[in-house]
Chains A and B, each alone.
Chain A
Amino acid sequence: MAYDDFDAPRPAGRHHNPAPVAIKILIAGGFGVGKTTLVGALTEIQPLRTEEELSGPGTSIDMIVGVEGKRTTTVAMDFGRITINGGLVIYLFGMPGQERFWFMWDDLSHGALGAVVLADVRRLADCFPAIDYFEHRSTPFVVALNCFPGTPRHGVDEVRKALDLDDHVPIVACDARERGSCRDTLVTLVDHAIALVDTGARAPSPSGSRA
Protein backbone atom coordinates (compact mmCIF):
# COMPACT_ATOMS: atom_id res chain seq x y z
CA MET A 1 0.00 0.00 0.00
CA ALA A 2 1.32 3.42 -0.91
CA TYR A 3 1.41 5.90 1.90
CA ASP A 4 3.40 8.59 0.08
CA ASP A 5 0.54 10.93 -0.45
CA PHE A 6 -0.21 10.93 3.26
CA ASP A 7 2.81 13.06 3.93
CA ALA A 8 1.03 16.14 2.67
CA PRO A 9 -2.30 17.39 3.96
CA ARG A 10 -5.07 16.27 1.68
CA PRO A 11 -7.08 18.87 -0.11
CA ALA A 12 -10.46 19.13 1.53
CA GLY A 13 -13.21 17.32 -0.34
CA ARG A 14 -10.92 14.95 -2.17
CA HIS A 15 -11.14 11.42 -0.86
CA HIS A 16 -8.83 8.78 -2.21
CA ASN A 17 -10.92 6.15 -0.48
CA PRO A 18 -14.37 7.48 0.29
CA ALA A 19 -15.69 5.98 3.51
CA PRO A 20 -18.40 3.40 2.88
CA VAL A 21 -21.86 3.73 4.37
CA ALA A 22 -21.84 1.57 7.50
CA ILE A 23 -25.02 -0.14 8.66
CA LYS A 24 -25.37 -1.53 12.16
CA ILE A 25 -27.46 -4.58 12.96
CA LEU A 26 -27.70 -5.89 16.52
CA ILE A 27 -27.83 -9.50 17.63
CA ALA A 28 -29.51 -9.67 21.01
CA GLY A 29 -30.89 -12.31 23.34
CA GLY A 30 -30.10 -14.06 26.57
CA PHE A 31 -26.74 -15.34 27.70
CA GLY A 32 -25.60 -18.42 25.77
CA VAL A 33 -28.43 -18.37 23.23
CA GLY A 34 -26.10 -18.39 20.20
CA LYS A 35 -25.40 -14.74 19.40
CA THR A 36 -21.69 -15.32 18.87
CA THR A 37 -22.46 -18.35 16.71
CA LEU A 38 -24.78 -16.31 14.50
CA VAL A 39 -22.24 -13.51 14.08
CA GLY A 40 -19.62 -16.14 13.23
CA ALA A 41 -21.86 -17.77 10.62
CA LEU A 42 -22.31 -14.52 8.69
CA THR A 43 -19.14 -12.52 9.04
CA GLU A 44 -16.71 -12.38 6.13
CA ILE A 45 -13.82 -11.99 8.52
CA GLN A 46 -12.97 -13.99 11.57
CA PRO A 47 -15.43 -12.84 14.21
CA LEU A 48 -13.73 -9.96 15.89
CA ARG A 49 -13.79 -9.30 19.53
CA THR A 50 -13.22 -6.01 21.16
CA GLU A 51 -13.54 -5.00 24.74
CA GLU A 52 -15.36 -2.33 26.59
CA GLU A 53 -14.59 -1.27 30.11
CA LEU A 54 -17.00 -2.42 32.74
CA SER A 55 -17.94 0.70 34.58
CA GLY A 56 -21.67 0.43 34.95
CA PRO A 57 -23.27 1.27 38.25
CA GLY A 58 -23.59 -1.65 40.60
CA THR A 59 -20.81 -3.58 38.92
CA SER A 60 -18.76 -5.53 41.36
CA ILE A 61 -15.71 -7.51 40.46
CA ASP A 62 -16.87 -10.63 42.27
CA MET A 63 -19.75 -10.99 39.82
CA ILE A 64 -17.34 -11.78 37.03
CA VAL A 65 -16.32 -15.38 37.25
CA GLY A 66 -12.76 -16.09 36.32
CA VAL A 67 -11.38 -12.60 36.13
CA GLU A 68 -10.85 -11.92 39.81
CA GLY A 69 -7.75 -9.87 40.39
CA LYS A 70 -7.80 -8.15 37.01
CA ARG A 71 -7.27 -4.45 37.41
CA THR A 72 -9.42 -3.39 34.50
CA THR A 73 -12.53 -5.45 34.13
CA THR A 74 -13.71 -5.66 30.58
CA VAL A 75 -16.56 -7.21 28.70
CA ALA A 76 -15.85 -8.89 25.39
CA MET A 77 -18.06 -7.80 22.54
CA ASP A 78 -18.32 -9.82 19.35
CA PHE A 79 -18.79 -8.23 16.02
CA GLY A 80 -18.71 -9.25 12.40
CA ARG A 81 -18.67 -7.55 9.03
CA ILE A 82 -20.46 -8.15 5.73
CA THR A 83 -19.31 -6.06 2.77
CA ILE A 84 -22.20 -5.63 0.36
CA ASN A 85 -20.10 -3.57 -2.03
CA GLY A 86 -17.32 -1.02 -1.87
CA GLY A 87 -19.75 1.62 -0.68
CA LEU A 88 -21.87 -0.37 1.76
CA VAL A 89 -20.83 -2.42 4.77
CA ILE A 90 -22.98 -4.15 7.39
CA TYR A 91 -21.69 -4.55 10.91
CA LEU A 92 -23.18 -7.14 13.23
CA PHE A 93 -22.85 -6.53 16.94
CA GLY A 94 -23.62 -9.10 19.58
CA MET A 95 -25.22 -7.28 22.50
CA PRO A 96 -23.95 -8.62 25.80
CA GLY A 97 -26.96 -10.33 27.33
CA GLN A 98 -26.36 -10.33 31.04
CA GLU A 99 -28.05 -7.70 33.10
CA ARG A 100 -24.78 -6.21 34.31
CA PHE A 101 -23.92 -5.25 30.73
CA TRP A 102 -27.17 -3.49 29.92
CA PHE A 103 -25.53 -0.10 30.36
CA MET A 104 -23.83 -0.72 27.00
CA TRP A 105 -27.06 -1.20 25.09
CA ASP A 106 -27.88 2.48 24.50
CA ASP A 107 -24.46 3.11 23.04
CA LEU A 108 -24.63 0.08 20.75
CA SER A 109 -28.20 0.49 19.59
CA HIS A 110 -28.00 4.16 18.68
CA GLY A 111 -28.57 4.44 14.95
CA ALA A 112 -29.04 0.72 14.41
CA LEU A 113 -31.04 -0.47 11.40
CA GLY A 114 -32.62 -3.10 13.62
CA ALA A 115 -32.08 -6.14 15.78
CA VAL A 116 -32.36 -9.89 15.69
CA VAL A 117 -33.55 -11.16 19.07
CA LEU A 118 -32.36 -14.74 19.35
CA ALA A 119 -34.56 -16.86 21.57
CA ASP A 120 -34.29 -20.35 22.96
CA VAL A 121 -37.77 -21.81 23.34
CA ARG A 122 -36.63 -23.66 26.47
CA ARG A 123 -35.73 -20.33 28.08
CA LEU A 124 -38.01 -17.86 26.38
CA ALA A 125 -38.01 -15.45 29.31
CA ASP A 126 -34.30 -14.75 28.72
CA CYS A 127 -35.15 -12.60 25.73
CA PHE A 128 -37.84 -10.51 27.45
CA PRO A 129 -35.44 -7.67 28.34
CA ALA A 130 -34.23 -7.34 24.73
CA ILE A 131 -37.79 -7.35 23.37
CA ASP A 132 -38.91 -4.77 25.92
CA TYR A 133 -35.90 -2.65 25.09
CA PHE A 134 -36.40 -2.58 21.31
CA GLU A 135 -40.15 -2.08 21.62
CA HIS A 136 -39.53 0.88 23.89
CA ARG A 137 -36.99 2.43 21.50
CA SER A 138 -39.06 1.66 18.38
CA THR A 139 -36.09 -0.19 16.90
CA PRO A 140 -37.23 -2.68 14.23
CA PHE A 141 -36.61 -6.24 15.38
CA VAL A 142 -37.41 -9.84 14.54
CA VAL A 143 -37.50 -12.77 16.92
CA ALA A 144 -35.44 -15.73 15.73
CA LEU A 145 -36.04 -19.03 17.47
CA ASN A 146 -32.69 -20.72 17.56
CA CYS A 147 -33.28 -24.37 16.82
CA PHE A 148 -30.86 -26.34 18.92
CA PRO A 149 -30.79 -30.08 18.32
CA GLY A 150 -33.64 -31.58 20.31
CA THR A 151 -35.45 -28.28 20.61
CA PRO A 152 -39.18 -28.82 20.92
CA ARG A 153 -41.04 -27.39 17.94
CA HIS A 154 -43.32 -24.72 19.28
CA GLY A 155 -45.86 -23.13 17.06
CA VAL A 156 -45.17 -19.54 16.08
CA ASP A 157 -48.55 -18.53 17.48
CA GLU A 158 -47.71 -20.15 20.78
CA VAL A 159 -44.40 -18.27 20.99
CA ARG A 160 -46.01 -15.01 19.93
CA LYS A 161 -48.51 -15.40 22.73
CA ALA A 162 -45.85 -16.32 25.26
CA LEU A 163 -43.81 -13.28 24.28
CA ASP A 164 -46.86 -11.02 24.10
CA LEU A 165 -45.56 -9.87 20.73
CA ASP A 166 -47.33 -7.52 18.33
CA ASP A 167 -48.73 -9.20 15.23
CA HIS A 168 -46.48 -7.27 12.88
CA VAL A 169 -43.21 -8.44 14.48
CA PRO A 170 -41.83 -11.36 12.45
CA ILE A 171 -40.94 -14.61 14.19
CA VAL A 172 -38.67 -16.99 12.30
CA ALA A 173 -36.95 -20.28 13.00
CA CYS A 174 -33.20 -20.03 12.67
CA ASP A 175 -30.19 -22.28 13.00
CA ALA A 176 -27.45 -19.96 14.22
CA ARG A 177 -24.80 -22.35 12.86
CA GLU A 178 -26.17 -22.21 9.31
CA ARG A 179 -25.09 -19.28 7.19
CA GLY A 180 -28.11 -19.52 4.89
CA SER A 181 -30.52 -19.60 7.79
CA CYS A 182 -28.86 -16.60 9.45
CA ARG A 183 -28.83 -14.69 6.17
CA ASP A 184 -32.57 -15.32 5.73
CA THR A 185 -33.16 -14.02 9.24
CA LEU A 186 -31.32 -10.79 8.42
CA VAL A 187 -33.27 -10.44 5.18
CA THR A 188 -36.50 -10.81 7.16
CA LEU A 189 -35.31 -8.06 9.50
CA VAL A 190 -34.41 -5.64 6.71
CA ASP A 191 -37.67 -6.36 4.86
CA HIS A 192 -39.49 -5.66 8.13
CA ALA A 193 -37.62 -2.36 8.51
CA ILE A 194 -38.59 -1.46 4.92
CA ALA A 195 -42.23 -2.25 5.68
CA LEU A 196 -42.12 0.00 8.75
CA VAL A 197 -40.78 2.90 6.70
CA ASP A 198 -43.30 2.19 3.94
CA THR A 199 -46.21 2.33 6.35
CA GLY A 200 -44.85 5.43 8.04
CA ALA A 201 -44.27 3.55 11.28
CA ARG A 202 -40.65 4.51 11.27
CA ALA A 203 -39.88 8.19 11.53
CA PRO A 204 -36.88 9.80 9.80
CA SER A 205 -34.97 9.87 13.09
CA PRO A 206 -35.22 6.31 14.37
CA SER A 207 -33.90 4.56 17.42
CA GLY A 208 -34.12 7.57 19.67
CA SER A 209 -31.39 9.95 20.58
CA ARG A 210 -28.13 9.05 22.17
CA ALA A 211 -28.43 8.76 25.92
Chain B
Amino acid sequence: MPPADDRPGPVVRPYALVRGRTRPTGEALDVISMIQSRHFRVPDPAGLEPEHLAVLRQCAVPMSVADLASAIDLPLGVIRILLGDLRDRGLIRIHQPRPERLADIRLLREVADGLRRL
Protein backbone atom coordinates (compact mmCIF):
# COMPACT_ATOMS: atom_id res chain seq x y z
CA MET B 1 0.00 0.00 0.00
CA PRO B 2 1.44 3.39 -0.92
CA PRO B 3 1.89 5.93 1.84
CA ALA B 4 -1.28 7.94 2.33
CA ASP B 5 0.51 11.09 1.29
CA ASP B 6 1.03 9.72 -2.22
CA ARG B 7 -2.67 9.51 -2.87
CA PRO B 8 -4.36 12.33 -4.74
CA GLY B 9 -6.17 14.61 -2.35
CA PRO B 10 -9.94 14.91 -2.24
CA VAL B 11 -11.58 17.33 -4.64
CA VAL B 12 -13.38 19.08 -1.81
CA ARG B 13 -11.23 19.81 1.19
CA PRO B 14 -12.61 17.59 3.94
CA TYR B 15 -13.25 20.32 6.47
CA ALA B 16 -15.16 22.39 3.94
CA LEU B 17 -17.76 19.60 4.09
CA VAL B 18 -18.40 20.28 7.72
CA ARG B 19 -18.08 24.05 7.38
CA GLY B 20 -14.87 24.37 9.28
CA ARG B 21 -16.11 22.62 12.41
CA THR B 22 -13.48 20.56 14.17
CA ARG B 23 -15.53 19.14 17.03
CA PRO B 24 -18.66 17.02 16.80
CA THR B 25 -21.67 17.69 18.99
CA GLY B 26 -22.48 15.45 21.92
CA GLU B 27 -20.71 12.50 23.48
CA ALA B 28 -17.35 11.46 22.01
CA LEU B 29 -17.49 8.61 19.52
CA ASP B 30 -14.93 5.86 19.83
CA VAL B 31 -13.16 4.53 16.72
CA ILE B 32 -14.88 1.21 17.42
CA SER B 33 -18.33 2.63 18.13
CA MET B 34 -20.76 0.77 15.89
CA ILE B 35 -23.06 2.88 13.77
CA GLN B 36 -26.34 1.70 12.31
CA SER B 37 -28.77 3.71 10.20
CA ARG B 38 -32.28 4.08 11.51
CA HIS B 39 -33.59 5.40 8.23
CA PHE B 40 -32.33 4.96 4.73
CA ARG B 41 -34.45 7.62 3.08
CA VAL B 42 -34.30 10.96 4.83
CA PRO B 43 -37.62 12.83 4.82
CA ASP B 44 -35.94 16.23 5.08
CA PRO B 45 -32.46 16.17 3.59
CA ALA B 46 -32.06 19.97 3.69
CA GLY B 47 -28.83 20.81 5.43
CA LEU B 48 -27.37 17.39 4.81
CA GLU B 49 -24.42 16.88 2.48
CA PRO B 50 -24.13 13.91 0.10
CA GLU B 51 -21.56 12.53 2.53
CA HIS B 52 -24.17 12.39 5.29
CA LEU B 53 -26.31 10.26 3.01
CA ALA B 54 -23.30 8.14 2.08
CA VAL B 55 -22.81 7.42 5.77
CA LEU B 56 -26.44 6.35 6.10
CA ARG B 57 -26.11 4.00 3.14
CA GLN B 58 -22.88 2.47 4.46
CA CYS B 59 -24.41 1.88 7.86
CA ALA B 60 -27.34 -0.19 6.61
CA VAL B 61 -25.45 -2.91 8.46
CA PRO B 62 -23.64 -1.88 11.64
CA MET B 63 -20.22 -0.44 10.86
CA SER B 64 -17.45 0.85 13.08
CA VAL B 65 -16.42 4.50 12.94
CA ALA B 66 -12.95 3.48 11.74
CA ASP B 67 -14.33 1.26 8.96
CA LEU B 68 -16.65 4.06 7.96
CA ALA B 69 -13.84 6.62 7.73
CA SER B 70 -11.87 4.23 5.58
CA ALA B 71 -14.83 3.28 3.36
CA ILE B 72 -15.84 6.88 2.69
CA ASP B 73 -12.20 8.01 2.65
CA LEU B 74 -12.59 10.95 4.98
CA PRO B 75 -10.53 11.81 8.07
CA LEU B 76 -11.86 10.42 11.34
CA GLY B 77 -12.44 13.94 12.63
CA VAL B 78 -14.75 14.74 9.71
CA ILE B 79 -16.60 11.43 10.01
CA ARG B 80 -17.23 12.12 13.69
CA ILE B 81 -18.75 15.51 12.89
CA LEU B 82 -20.99 14.01 10.20
CA LEU B 83 -22.09 11.34 12.67
CA GLY B 84 -22.79 14.01 15.29
CA ASP B 85 -25.11 15.73 12.80
CA LEU B 86 -26.90 12.46 12.02
CA ARG B 87 -27.21 11.65 15.70
CA ASP B 88 -28.74 15.08 16.36
CA ARG B 89 -31.38 14.27 13.75
CA GLY B 90 -32.06 10.85 15.18
CA LEU B 91 -31.03 9.15 11.94
CA ILE B 92 -28.54 6.69 13.37
CA ARG B 93 -28.26 4.28 16.23
CA ILE B 94 -24.89 4.29 18.03
CA HIS B 95 -23.56 1.32 19.94
CA GLN B 96 -20.79 2.65 22.15
CA PRO B 97 -18.18 0.14 23.37
CA ARG B 98 -18.51 -0.74 27.03
CA PRO B 99 -15.05 -0.80 28.62
CA GLU B 100 -16.42 -2.49 31.72
CA ARG B 101 -16.89 -5.63 29.62
CA LEU B 102 -13.10 -5.97 29.48
CA ALA B 103 -13.29 -7.29 33.01
CA ASP B 104 -15.66 -10.03 31.80
CA ILE B 105 -13.59 -13.20 31.88
CA ARG B 106 -16.01 -15.07 29.63
CA LEU B 107 -15.69 -12.46 26.89
CA LEU B 108 -11.89 -12.38 27.22
CA ARG B 109 -11.75 -16.18 26.94
CA GLU B 110 -13.90 -16.03 23.83
CA VAL B 111 -11.41 -13.56 22.34
CA ALA B 112 -8.40 -15.70 23.29
CA ASP B 113 -9.98 -18.92 21.99
CA GLY B 114 -11.02 -17.20 18.78
CA LEU B 115 -7.48 -15.99 18.21
CA ARG B 116 -6.05 -19.45 18.87
CA ARG B 117 -8.22 -20.83 16.09
CA LEU B 118 -6.83 -18.38 13.51
Contacts and interface: CB of A to CB of B under 8 A. Distances in A.
B109 A193 contact: no
B40 A7 contact: yes
17 contacts: A7-B39, A7-B40, A15-B36, A51-B75, A53-B15, A72-B75, A74-B75, A79-B66, A82-B118, A84-B111, A91-B32, A190-B108, A197-B102, A198-B105, A203-B103, A205-B103, A207-B102
B95 interface: yes
Residues of A in contact with B, size category = 35 or more
B115 interface: yes
Nearest to A93: B31
Nearest to B34: A19
A77 B109 CA distance: 28
Interface stretch (A21-29, A123-131, A141-149, A159-167): A21-29
Interface of A: 1, 3, 6-7, 9-10, 15, 17-24, 42, 46-53, 55, 66-67, 70-72, 74, 76-77, 79, 81-82, 84-85, 88-91, 93, 107-108, 110-111, 113, 179, 183, 186-187, 190-191, 193-194, 197-198, 202-207, 210
Contacts of A52: 75-77
Contacts, number: 158
B51 to A, nearest CB: 15
Nearest to A67: B5
Interface of B: 1, 3-5, 9, 13-15, 22, 28, 30-32, 34, 36-41, 57, 60-62, 64, 66-67, 69-70, 75-77, 95, 97-103, 105, 107-112, 114-116, 118
B102 A111 contact: yes
B38 A197 contact: no
Contact of B112 (A55, A108, A187): A187
Contacts of A88: 107, 110-111, 114
A93 B38 CA distance: 28
B103 A108 contact: no
Contact of B111 (A6, A55, A90, A207): A90
Contacts of B69: 50-51
Given A52-B76, A66-B5, A21 B101 contact: yes
Given A7-B41, A50-B66, A71-B13, 18 more contacts: A1-B61, A10-B38, A47-B1, A49-B4, A50-B70, A53-B75, A70-B5, A89-B64, A90-B114, A111-B30, A183-B116, A183-B118, A190-B108, A190-B111, A191-B112, A197-B108, A206-B102, A207-B99
Nearest to A85: B114
Contacts of A197: 102-103, 105, 108
A170 B89 CA distance: 47
Contact of B22 (A53, A89, A110): A53
Contacts of B1: 46-47, 49
A6 B43 CA distance: 12
